[in-house]
Structure 1
Amino acid sequence: MGQTKPLTSMLLGLGHLISVIWGFPFGPVLDVDVTPRTTVHVNGLLGCNHFHGAAVNYSSLLLEDGPGLLYVGAREAIYKLDTANISDTNISLSLEWAASAEQKRQCLSKGKNNQTECYNHVRFLDRYNDTHLYTCGTHAFRPRCAYIDVARFTFVRFEEGKEKCPYDPTKGYTGFMIDGEMYSASQYEFRNIPDIRRNFPFPNLRTDDSPTRWLLESDFVSSALLRESINSSIGDDDKLYFFFTERNTEPTAYSSQTKVARVARVCKGDIGGQRTLQRKWTSFLKARLVCAIPDYELQFNVLRSVFVAEGSDVHDSVFYGIFGLEWRNVKMSAVCQYSLRDVQTAFDGPYMELQDSKWREYTGKVPDPRPGSCITDQHRALLINSSRDLPDNILNFVRKHPLMSRQIQPVGGRPLLLQRSADYTKMAVQQVVGLDGLIYDMLFIGTDEGWLHRAVKIRDRVHIIEELQLFEEKQPINNMVISQKQNSIYVSAPSGLVQVPLSSCERYTSCYDCVFARDPLCGWDGRTCAEIASYANRSSLIQDIQMGSRGCTNITSDGFVLHRTRAVMAGDDVLLQCEIRSNLATPHWTLNGQQLQGYGVDFGYRTGNDGLLIIGTQNQQSGHYRCYAVENGVWVPVRSYVVRVQPVPPPASHLSGSPTALPESFFTTTTAPTPSPSSGPVEQILSPPPALLPSGPEFQTYRHMEAMYISLVAVLGGLCLVLTVVLLYVSFCAHNSPDARKYSQQALSIPTATERKRSSHFELKTISSHCNGRTEGRSRATSRDGEFLQIVPADIQTTPSEEPPPAPPLPMPPPLPDSEYANGLSATLPSMLRKMNGNSYVLLRQTDSEMTSPLYHSFTEELNKILEKRKHTQLDIQPDESSV
């Protein structure tokens, strides 16, 4: 029973999540997958530079925009790159920092993984002073730190790092160095007790682990320093914020949610208590970050990344957080925004207290000055100039009440962005001033598969401008930093780095494409889409971030539209292609200026991503088709087609008539599959084009004419075979001459009666082979293997008075078993029609034989005379394109 309740609650939670995603039965469908406007694959990136060193797992980035340097920490290596072009190997430098063989052996003896853990993974890299960097690495589960001389780019000193860097390269970690002081947060030691520390200078500080355990299995993702002391009217102190996910001990609506997202705060000037909380934080407080959809009670409780965007006034700063679900098999992400003022309000609110192993809101008296607050003018008036002057009652209250009762809600009360198709891993934010004078936050969000989403926050929603595939192989984005000087963002992943321009305005080739992108960095100057930062006078630039639809004139003109003409036989299906680059645009079609309403087989049209499919074209479907990309309420023409439906020529009406001659463009050779050794003779079919296939009540009439046509060919073939056998018997038995045992081949051409320069005609080729004198052990019936009759289209330059040259002999098919024949005639006649791109033909084959008759010419001449009398005029159709 003890295990049944958690399992049941987890199943209920998953069922609730599925219901939320699909919007049933709790309400309307929820938009859980914001679609990027355009998708750019790795081979379509513009202006990107790549760096791939000998190392892997590029995770730590230190950007120094002034001198134009980018320091990169990887596995057992540190690189120094030029921010102008990280691909320039002439400027880049590398510094190897590998764990020794003995250290790796000891790591293996501790049961660690030799493929991932027993290496030196650089986890910390920051500026120490004007001349040196400071770095720390896992060093095969024995952390080490070192100083690097910047000028020579060499190590100058090493020291112990177990209090500054985690042992495990996969543990959450965050840290920074400011004013010569190093702050870090992680699970440092083997006992996995999380801690927030000030590592140096003295005195070192850390969080308290008793009696309430300030941190519980915390997984840190980010940290930031906000200088709230600047222009402070109360003499406030600067504050450090740490963001993490930890085990939840608060009462929640869903017992299956075992984790919760937090933000913790400490004061930069904190130096610990005098007797109580010695070398411990006296200002530690933490509160819960909520990222949920209230209407659906969907909670995103796992924090993955945080970026702090500082405002012109520090109190106007905002936090952007990437959240995920606790269930790892559910791929879903959310982005929530928080105001620093709301965070301050939560830390100034009521406290929580642990009562009977449960957290409840504290309702008792709060000491004065307020516990957990930084030293201000109010403290100094009471002769409390530092945390060591705080009385013990205040410090004891801080120890027992680290958790705040008030939860921090996101701006707007719900997420800015929901994404179901990707797991977000890292984010960076840049503030840009648009042409309308408003400040826009541009979000650069990395995914677990190596994609970068470039987006802009518009009011209370996020518009994803484009998604960029930065790496061919799927891999998570580890880190990213933005360079204002180079107008680039540097993105790191396990396999390397990519330098990506903050914008690719040249990708937008028209005014409406530039405006629809809603990119604050781009504007239309009348000819091209360019970066607005490159223009001193921006009055003539066009940009519409709020609506994404205004500013362009003659947006529905056909100046950039591709025009095509299509000709199709009645009854055929034809596809009119219309490629739309924007994922947010929807295709709309018009015929002769009237919008096509309804799509499907019943309407005769079907739309898809490729275009418009006209099903069974009829005469009334001829006309001018236009494809429009409709986005933000604007119709933009993309393609234009003029479709001409040609009437179907009348079929043969009597048995003795020959097949109707068709234009050569409506015939396409089809090849039958290779037969197995036990199969019958190879059959190729010459079928009429699909346009000739009638529909409705005329279908039975067409099938009857088809049967008559096949019967005519079969009768002529049988007559040919019988006459050949008779002549062979007379020639062989009566004369018994060696001259009779010669092969002969004759081709009979039947030209079409047209005056076109390039004509089509049929050739009737008969190849027969008879007894060659070796008849021992075989009967006369079985010694004749049959004969081969073929009708194929030909394409030669002829005039009515010319005789076509004889066709080359056809290749002999493999011999087949005698059981497939009856009296030398194939027992199977072709009965299948093949359709291929609207153009096809019927080809009848009978079996081959190995002998021919010397009297063959008399039969072919007679047959030529008969067929010459049955000529039909050819249909004169000159379509621009063949039907589909």
Structure 2
Amino acid sequence: MWGRLWSLLLGFLAAATVPGPSLRRPSQELDATPRMTIPHEELSGTRYFQAQAQNYSTLLLEEASARLLVGARGALFSLSARDIADGAHKEIHWEASPEMRSKCHQKGKNNLTECFNHVRFLQRLNATHLYACGTHAFQPLCAAIDAEAFALPGSFEEGKEKCPYDPARGFTGLIIDGGLYTATRYEFRSIPDIRRSRHPHSLRTEEAPVHWLNDAEFVFSVLVRESEASTVGDDDKVYYFFTERAAAEEGSSSFGPSRSSHRVARVARVCKGDLGGKKILQKKWTSFLKARLICHIPQYEKLRGVCSLDTEHSARTHFYAAFTLTTQWKTLEASAICRYDLAEVQAVFSGPYMEYQDGARRWGRYEGGIPEPRPGSCITDSLRSRGYNSSQDLPSLVLDFVKLHPLMARPVVPTRGRPLLLKRNVRYTHLTGTPVTTPAGPTYDLLFLGTADGWIHKAVVLGSGMHIIEETQVFREPQAVENLVVSLRQHSLYVGAPSGVIQLPLSTCFRYRSCYDCILARDPYCGWSPSSHSCVAATTTANRTSLIQDIERGNRGCEGSTDVGPPPPLKTRSVLRGDDVLLPCDQPSNLARALWLLNGSKSLSDGQDGYRVGVDGLLVTDTQPEHSGSYSCFAEENGLRALLASYSLVVRPATPAPAPQAPATKGSQLGPDVQLLYVLAIAALGALCFILAFALLYVACLRGGGRGHQGKYSLGRAGGSAVQLQTVSGQCPGEEDEGDDGEGAGGLEGSCLQIIPGEGAPAPPPPPPPPPPAELTNGLAALPSRLRRVNGNNYVLLRQGSNGVPAGPCSFAEELSRILEKRKHTQLVEQLDESSV
């Protein structure tokens, strides 16, 4: 069912249209598979930090001092960025008091998770101090911390305007030129807001008559210095990324949730030099504008994470955003990655506006005139020349327009109109990236994507798609990746999660053993060194230009190289005809296809001539002599072929093994007279047993005909305690109502045996059964264990004729021999049919 549902959804993805180029790849091609899978047991070069605290979700990297600052629940840590587990860290305990926790609990909050001091904000305030804010049991506090001493100050600042109450509420914050720019839902029952505090001109978003933000959950914020090298004297801007409830014109489709709960992704911006209005929009942003972010189709609306690259150069600034699928089917999980160029975002903010139409009670495109200066724009040299030196000099008409038209009409579409990646069964929670310049000259964006179950996907952006180099299980126990930070100086990735912080190397080039394996990885950090015959990190090699890389195609550069790795050893397998045999062949790459060749030429396909090709090797079923030969296992990937395993298979004829015979010794040979004596003794004992058995059966027939013992065989007196042995089927065929004196033939109708202990001497034990024939040795050994699984009394073999008269005695060996002879041609099943015994 889910397979068909996903096929329909992918078909809808391929057919959906958004503004942009019409040329698009099939959606199936976007679902990239990580090339390598590295489980937690195979991690190398990692360092782990964990203390008594929990929720290590706030990270601040200071490259200059090589320190990694961590904000957790009830504590802050200063770790060495070179080795976070060196044991020389500093720690600040910052817990909420028992009284604060008690008040928090009285408000109905969870005393096990929410009523603590969760550090949500940690930034550099100035050259000497850090600035941190915590939820403090739903009474936020902030503190300026001496960075050198790493200790709390004697007094704290009120945090209600700077930090969220709820530790689970979306939050983002920056310190820019001493001002604090934060976005969250601040107070206990307040609406979301973008604010600037610790600044001479504190600002916030408007609430009436139009809410600029509608139940927003903030994800990310970044400063883009657009004033750098600006020819028009533009201002720097702060961009915010969040998800909020959709406006009326952005209702859901048939695939999405209901209109009232439909949420969309947004990007908003404000100017750093905004001072608010003089009479209108006092202490409010005059430059606030927002637009919708579209990744692929409306179902990818839940924004999970955003990262920005090249923010120091606005002409090259771009963003990567992770979205998750939002549908009414909770079990259907997927993620998408889209790229947005700053130029496209700027173009949307320079386009048409939306306005709320009271008559239709919905948002629609504004078609009227736009006042001058353009509403929402920053102060530029052109405006200064016209007398508008700050936002407080803007006309009231412009400020009124800004107040009622915060939403742009056009959405921001991804680069080339489509996502870089669609990934099924994955929920990305955070992402970060860095540009990597290769020895050949081109620069590629390398992304690290954290998942909700503790994995990291390392991916390189290639044109209009992404290649996932590897997936790494960084935490043994599944937990969400909450933060990611890249250090270029330490060549490390730091991962923040509920249980601790882990430090990973940005590349593990040593995993690639051959030239082809190195270039197939397409890792910008790795290249094949012909001089050292190894895959090395391009950032640490002196002669970078000699390295072999092929990031774009991933299959060229090693044609003349002899570094293809050592050939695998030839292994020999011998198997009996008719048996099955598995030839293991582990594919190191998830993108490789297993190719099996017989005798160097015949290609083996799955399901043909008894061959089954799997991810773990080749299974040959019901082997025959023609299956003998040389088998070679290759990995085919991206047009390249590599030999992984070689086998020599020999199928031997299945001849029955001769019965083992005891070696005859001279002392064990018996003379003819002694042998004759033994034969006569055995014959006499056998005749005596036969006579006794016949006598016992005759006595039982004479005394077992009464109604009280009908259908029973009895021995001894009727007054003793009776033990009944029934057949496996539990049925007594042939039983009929007879008179009280019904004896004789009618006494054998039942298939039940009653043994009544007597007073005489016990009967001698029966002689052991003779040994079975030599050819039935294996069957005899296997049969009793199978019978015991059915019933403990299966060794009592009782034969009766159809007319109720015993068919005569039969030996145990004869019965077993007949059963085993019959089972030579049948399959012994696990659960026997009881009625057949």
Q: TM-score, normalised by structure 1?
A: 0.74
**What residue in structure 1 maps to residue 449 of structure 2?**
445
SS at match of 2:586: coil
Q: Distance in 2 between matches of 1:728 and 1:569?
A: 44
Aligned with residue 825 of structure 1, among 803, 812, 817:
812
The residue type paired with residue 399 of structure 1 is K
Q: Distance in 2 between matches of 1:721 and 1:190?
A: 104
CA distance 1:405–1:723, change in 2 (3 Å): farther
The answer to whether structure 1 residue 143 and structure 2 residue 149 are counterparts is: no
**What residue in structure 1 maps to residue 477 of structure 2?**
473
**What residue in structure 2 maps to residue 808 of structure 1?**
none
SS at match of 2:156: strand
**What residue in structure 2 maps to residue 507 of structure 1?**
511
Aligned with residue 377 of structure 2, among 368, 373, 379:
373
Q: Distance in 2 between matches of 1:390 and 1:309?
A: 33
The residue type paired with residue 825 of structure 1 is F
CA distance 1:448–1:724, change in 2 (3 Å): farther
The residue type paired with residue 93 of structure 1 is K
Q: Distance in 2 between matches of 1:136 and 1:359?
A: 38
**What residue in structure 1 maps to residue 272 of structure 2?**
268
CA distance 1:551–1:777, change in 2 (3 Å): farther
Aligned with residue 101 of structure 2, among 100, 104, 121:
104
SS at match of 2:545: coil
Q: Residues 862-877 of structure 1: matches in 2 within 5 Å?
A: none
Q: Distance in 2 between matches of 1:483 and 1:382?
A: 46
Please say if residues 308 and 318 of structure 2, whose CA atoms lie closer than 8 Å, have aligned partners that are also in contact.
yes
CA distance 1:558–1:221, change in 2 (3 Å): closer
The answer to whether structure 1 residue 300 and structure 2 residue 300 are counterparts is: yes
The answer to whether structure 1 residue 786 and structure 2 residue 773 are counterparts is: no
Q: Residues 719-734 of structure 1: matches in 2 within 5 Å?
A: 724=682, 726-727=684-685
CA distance 1:834–1:355, change in 2 (3 Å): farther
CA distance 1:593–1:661, change in 2 (3 Å): farther
CA distance 1:25–1:459, change in 2 (3 Å): closer
**What residue in structure 2 maps to residue 567 of structure 1?**
574
CA distance 1:820–1:394, change in 2 (3 Å): same
Please say if residues 334 and 416 of structure 1, whose CA atoms lie closer than 8 Å, have aligned partners that are also in contact.
yes
**What residue in structure 1 maps to residue 236 of structure 2?**
238
CA offset digits 1:772-802 (Å, max 9, x no partner) = xxx984675x631534737899xxxxxxxxx
The answer to whether structure 1 residue 333 and structure 2 residue 339 are counterparts is: no
CA distance 1:55–1:514, change in 2 (3 Å): same
SS at match of 1:279: coil
Please say if residues 336 and 410 of structure 1, whose CA atoms lie closer than 8 Å, have aligned partners that are also in contact.
yes
Displacement of 1:525: 1.0
SS at match of 1:245: strand
The answer to whether structure 1 residue 130 and structure 2 residue 137 are counterparts is: no
- Structure 2 gap ranges (5+): 17-25, 661-677, 692-757, 776-786, 799-808, 829-837
**What residue in structure 2 maps to residue 529 of structure 1?**
535
Q: Residues 415-454 of structure 1: matches in 2 within 5 Å?
A: 415-454=419-458
Q: Distance in 2 between matches of 1:587 and 1:786?
A: 58
Aligned residues: 695
SS at match of 1:213: coil
Q: Residues 464-863 of structure 1: matches in 2 within 5 Å?
A: 464-526=468-530, 527-552=533-558, 553=560, 559-600=566-607, 602-649=608-655, 660=658, 724=682, 726-727=684-685, 777=760, 780=763, 783-784=765-766, 786-787=768-769, 789=771, 819-820=796-797, 825=812, 827-829=815-817, 831=820
CA distance 1:575–1:14, change in 2 (3 Å): closer
CA distance 1:29–1:410, change in 2 (3 Å): closer
**What residue in structure 1 maps to residue 59 of structure 2?**
61
Displacement of 1:109: 0.8
**What residue in structure 2 maps to residue 354 of structure 1?**
356
Displacement of 1:823: 6.2
Q: Distance in 1 between matches of 2:169 and 2:343?
A: 31
- Structure 1 gap ranges (5+): 1-10, 652-658, 663-719, 734-774, 794-812, 841-884
Please say if residues 785 and 818 of structure 1, whose CA atoms lie closer than 8 Å, have aligned partners that are also in contact.
no
The residue type paired with residue 624 of structure 1 is S
CA distance 1:325–1:599, change in 2 (3 Å): closer
Q: Distance in 2 between matches of 1:564 and 1:557?
A: 20
Please say if residues 20 and 298 of structure 1, whose CA atoms lie closer than 8 Å, have aligned partners that are also in contact.
no
Displacement of 1:605: 1.2
Q: TM-score, normalised by structure 2?
A: 0.78
CA offset digits 1:336-356 (Å, max 9, x no partner) = 000000000000001111112
Please say if residues 291 and 299 of structure 1, whose CA atoms lie closer than 8 Å, have aligned partners that are also in contact.
no
The answer to whether structure 1 residue 285 and structure 2 residue 289 are counterparts is: yes
**What residue in structure 1 maps to residue 75 of structure 2?**
77
Q: Distance in 2 between matches of 1:620 and 1:818?
A: 45
Displacement of 1:252: 3.7
**What residue in structure 2 maps to residue 225 of structure 1?**
223
- Aligned-residue CA RMSD (Å): 3.2
SS at match of 2:305: strand
Displacement of 1:253: 6.5
Displacement of 1:537: 1.4
Q: Distance in 2 between matches of 1:722 and 1:470?
A: 81
Please say if residues 417 and 461 of structure 1, whose CA atoms lie closer than 8 Å, have aligned partners that are also in contact.
yes
CA distance 1:723–1:489, change in 2 (3 Å): farther
Displacement of 1:329: 3.8
CA offset digits 1:472-510 (Å, max 9, x no partner) = 111000101111110001000000010010000111112
Q: Distance in 2 between matches of 1:833 and 1:34?
A: 56
**What residue in structure 2 maps to residue 192 of structure 1?**
190
The residue type paired with residue 201 of structure 1 is H
**What residue in structure 2 maps to residue 37 of structure 1?**
35
**What residue in structure 2 maps to residue 92 of structure 1?**
89
Q: Which moved more, 1:178-187 or 1:815-824?
A: 815-824
**Identity level (%):** 46
The residue type paired with residue 407 of structure 1 is P
Q: Distance in 2 between matches of 1:557 and 1:281?
A: 62
Q: Distance in 1 between matches of 2:59 and 2:768?
A: 81
Please say if residues 372 and 398 of structure 1, whose CA atoms lie closer than 8 Å, have aligned partners that are also in contact.
yes
Q: Distance in 2 between matches of 1:660 and 1:325?
A: 67
Please say if residues 19 and 26 of structure 1, whose CA atoms lie closer than 8 Å, have aligned partners that are also in contact.
no
**What residue in structure 1 maps to residue 151 of structure 2?**
154
Please say if residues 455 and 472 of structure 2, whose CA atoms lie closer than 8 Å, have aligned partners that are also in contact.
yes
CA offset digits 1:398-427 (Å, max 9, x no partner) = 001100111111002111011112100000
Displacement of 1:23: 7.2
CA offset digits 1:17-55 (Å, max 9, x no partner) = 661237799797734632100111111111000001110
Q: Distance in 2 between matches of 1:111 and 1:216?
A: 25
CA distance 1:25–1:367, change in 2 (3 Å): closer
Q: Distance in 2 between matches of 1:389 and 1:834?
A: 102
Q: Distance in 2 between matches of 1:377 and 1:832?
A: 105
Aligned with residue 384 of structure 1, among 375, 388, 411:
388
Displacement of 1:817: 8.6
Q: Distance in 1 between matches of 2:66 and 2:622?
A: 64
**What residue in structure 1 maps to residue 665 of structure 2?**
none
Please say if residues 226 and 313 of structure 2, whose CA atoms lie closer than 8 Å, have aligned partners that are also in contact.
no
CA offset digits 1:31-88 (Å, max 9, x no partner) = 4632100111111111000001110011111110111111100001101100011011
Displacement of 1:544: 1.0
The residue type paired with residue 110 of structure 1 is K
Displacement of 1:722: 11
The residue type paired with residue 242 of structure 1 is Y
CA offset digits 1:303-358 (Å, max 9, x no partner) = 11110111673221101001112235431100000000000000000111111221
